[in-house]
């Protein structure tokens, strides 16, 4: 394909040819096989997507069945509808929220869950949908309830047995044994939580790897676009310049060619990434590199020479050479 040619005609190897498994396949594998529930949902309460683990937690035969049956998340999932509304408000305000709530399964039985929800924004900053992770913590909640009941029971027994001195030693021994049992259970739960924390950390590492790969793919796409401009568009513009045109048309064609050269300039791409220049500063830097004076640049860009000088100072500051005795033109030429 033309889009995979190098800027000077050579072939450019695809990064994906070296990858045994694509990013999409890795993400799909994580989505399909993780034991934690993963979901995407709208703010109106409709499920967009979910993985098999979530369907299993809610006792549905498949993700497709759960997606088909659940039409109103607040009504069909939440035991307390207000909790859903509160979590949405928190996600909108902070972009992310974590909470525990009582949920309803397919068979109408109740359980406890932990949810971590993030609001995914579109380019305009509006929430497109929510994505999150879900863990079933019913066992933990039931254990906590048993522990509370045990503590209450122990308190009542201490009060009752305080009047029965003869049985005090036996009651204390039973209490000690019960508490040791609870401590063993708590230690076991702590080990389980640590194990889950390690697993979540590994999952986060995988997500970071996927995001880094996404950035590499983005850069490859930019290079492909610039190569297509060089190979397909600029030659057409040059042939068009060779035809008979009015002075105004020639001026417009020259401006178009300058802008295309600016877009595909490796120098501009690199200096933009390193110095974080604005589009105006980037354009002025390109003119300075070509040896144009502030007056000439101002005439081209329809700006005053003073405004151009202001941008010159900002470019020097962003490049880290403000106050140094070095020509901006020379610096840009050395780094081009």
Helix (H, G, I), strand (E, B) or coil at 1: coil
250-254, 271-275, 314-318: least confident range: 271-275
Mean pLDDT of 216-222: 74
Mean pLDDT of 256-268: 66
- CA–CA distance, 224 with 230 (Å, rounded to integer): 10
121-125, 144-148, 239-243: least confident range: 239-243
pLDDT confidence of residue 60: 95
Question: Does 115 score more than 90 pLDDT?
Answer: yes
Higher pLDDT, 268 or 331: 331
pLDDT confidence of residue 10: 46
Please state, rounded to an integer, the average pLDDT across all residues of the chain: 83
Q: Mind listing the pLDDT tens digit for each residue in 71-113?
A: 999 999 999 989 999 999 999 999 999 999 999 999 999 999 9
- CA–CA distance, 270 with 266 (Å, rounded to integer): 6
Confidence of residue 261 (pLDDT cuts 50, 70, 90): low
16-30, 37-51, 68-82, 315-329: least confident range: 16-30
Confidence of residue 243 (pLDDT cuts 50, 70, 90): confident
DSSP 8-state class, residue 317: H
Name the CATH topology of 34-136. Answer: Beta-Lactamase (3.30.450)
- CA–CA distance, 310 with 109 (Å, rounded to integer): 69
Beta bridge partners of 100: 114
User: Residues of CATH 3.30.450.20 domain(s) within the chain?
Assistant: 34-136
Mean pLDDT of 192-197: 88
- Determine whether 289 is exposed, middle or buried from the number of CB atoms within 10 Å of its CB (0-12, 13-18, 19+): buried
- CA–CA distance, 93 with 75 (Å, rounded to integer): 23
pLDDT confidence of residue 163: 78
63-67, 140-144, 165-169: least confident range: 165-169
Mean pLDDT of 124-148: 93
Confidence of residue 266 (pLDDT cuts 50, 70, 90): low
Closest-CA residue to 38 (of 121, 130, 131, 114): 131
Higher pLDDT, 82 or 224: 82
Distances, alpha carbon 141 to alpha carbons 38, 82, 198, 264, 318, in Å: 21, 20, 22, 59, 55
């Amino acid at each position: 394909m033309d889009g995979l040619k190098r800027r000077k005609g050579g072939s450019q190897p695809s990064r994906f040819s070296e990858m045994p498994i694509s990013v999409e396949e890795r993400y799909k594998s994580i989505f399909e096989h993780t034991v934690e529930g993963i979901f995407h949902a709208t703010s109106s309460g409709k499920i967009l997507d979910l993985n098999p683990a979530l369907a299993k937690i809610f006792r549905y035969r498949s993700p497709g069945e759960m997606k088909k049956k659940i039409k109103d998340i607040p009504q069909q999932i939440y035991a307390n509808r207000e909790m859903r509304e509160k979590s949405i408000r928190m996600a909108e305000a902070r972009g992310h929220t974590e909470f525990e709530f009582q949920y309803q399964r397919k068979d109408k039985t109740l359980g406890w869950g932990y949810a971590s929800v993030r609001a995914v924004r579109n380019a305009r900053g509006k929430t497109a949908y929510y994505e999150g992770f879900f863990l079933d913590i019913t066992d933990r909640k039931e254990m906590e309830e048993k522990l509370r009941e045990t503590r209450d029971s122990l308190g009542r027994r201490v009060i009752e047995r305080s009047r029965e001195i003869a049985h005090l030693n036996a009651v204390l021994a039973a209490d000690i044994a019960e508490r040791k049992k609870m401590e063993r259970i708590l230690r076991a739960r702590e080990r389980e939580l640590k194990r889950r924390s390690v697993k979540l950390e590994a999952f986060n590492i995988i997500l970071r790897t996927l995001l880094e790969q996404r950035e590499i793919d983005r850069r490859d796409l930019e290079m492909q676009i610039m190569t297509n401009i060089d190979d397909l568009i600029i030659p057409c513009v040059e042939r068009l310049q060779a035809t008979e045109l009015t002075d105004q048309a020639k001026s417009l064609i020259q401006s178009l060619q300058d802008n295309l050269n600016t877009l595909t300039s490796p120098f501009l791409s690199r200096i933009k990434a390193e110095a974080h220049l604005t589009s105006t500063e980037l354009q002025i830097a390109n003119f300075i590199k070509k040896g144009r004076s502030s007056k000439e640049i101002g005439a081209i860009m329809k700006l005053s020479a003073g405004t151009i000088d202001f941008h010159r100072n900002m470019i020097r500051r962003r490049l880290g050479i403000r106050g140094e005795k070095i020509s901006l033109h020379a610096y840009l030429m050395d780094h081009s």
